[in-house]
Amino acid sequence: MTRRTLIWPVVAFVVLIVELGATIGTVTGDPFTPAAGWGPTRPVDALAFAMVVLGCVALASFARFPLTSTLIATASYVVFIVRDHELGMFLPPMVAVLGLAAWARHRLAAMLCALASLAAAAIWVGHRTASIADSGVALLSWVAFGTVLAVFFLGPLLVGEIVRARSELREARASADVARA
């Protein structure tokens, strides 16, 4: 096993601990209500916890099955967020999209997974802001959440592309050095 293969189970474990902690926090903490009229969310249930675990554990097999792992992490997030649970579970699709764009060379799939995650999150924001009476507050909520969510899901795609491009540049330089020698 290579170091790159071993890192993914560690990443999956860390992501799992963070996401389980955040999900348990939504059970024991006060509901997130940043503005008057903010729509309520659905309480966390067994399926929500299953989606968290599935999305995080999928990352453990990323080295062998990058596309499948990313699809599972993304689908788990989409199910979690479309079911109207408290905003969270960002890390599995973020990490998977970063890895897919950077190392697996599945650029289109990485883009589609990032956009699917962003679209599901936008639906979630729509449900939360629909009952806000003040149009200025509703607009500000859309701008704030839209910006943050775009950074969360498109940022890893961009960073993955940069990592991939630098890797290809390094390979091209190495090939050119060998050809000159």
Question: Which pLDDT value is given to residue 96?
Answer: 97
- The whole-angstrom separation of Cα 73 and Cα 57 is 8
* pLDDT tens by residue, 110-164: 999 999 999 999 999 999 999 999 999 999 999 999 999 999 999 999 999 999 9
Q: How confident is the model at residue 180 (pLDDT cuts 50, 70, 90)?
A: confident
Residue 99 near residue 70, CB atoms below 8 Å: yes
- The whole-angstrom separation of Cα 11 and Cα 15 is 6
Question: Which pLDDT value is given to residue 3?
Answer: 66
- For residue 90, give its domain range: 3-180
Question: Which pLDDT value is given to residue 2?
Answer: 65
Domains of the chain: total: 1
For the entire predicted model, the pTM comes to 0.90
- The whole-angstrom separation of Cα 43 and Cα 26 is 8
Residue 129 near residue 141, CB atoms below 8 Å: yes
Question: Which pLDDT value is given to residue 117?
Answer: 97
Has residue 27 got a pLDDT over 60? yes
Q: CA 116 → CA 37, 40, 139, 150, distances in Å?
A: 27, 23, 22, 11
Question: Which pLDDT value is given to residue 28?
Answer: 86
What are the φ/ψ torsions at residue 94 (nearest 5 degrees)?
-65, -50
Has residue 168 got a pLDDT over 70? yes
* pLDDT tens by residue, 69-104: 999 999 999 999 999 998 889 999 999 999 999 987
Average pLDDT over residues 36-46: 89
Has residue 1 got a pLDDT over 60? no
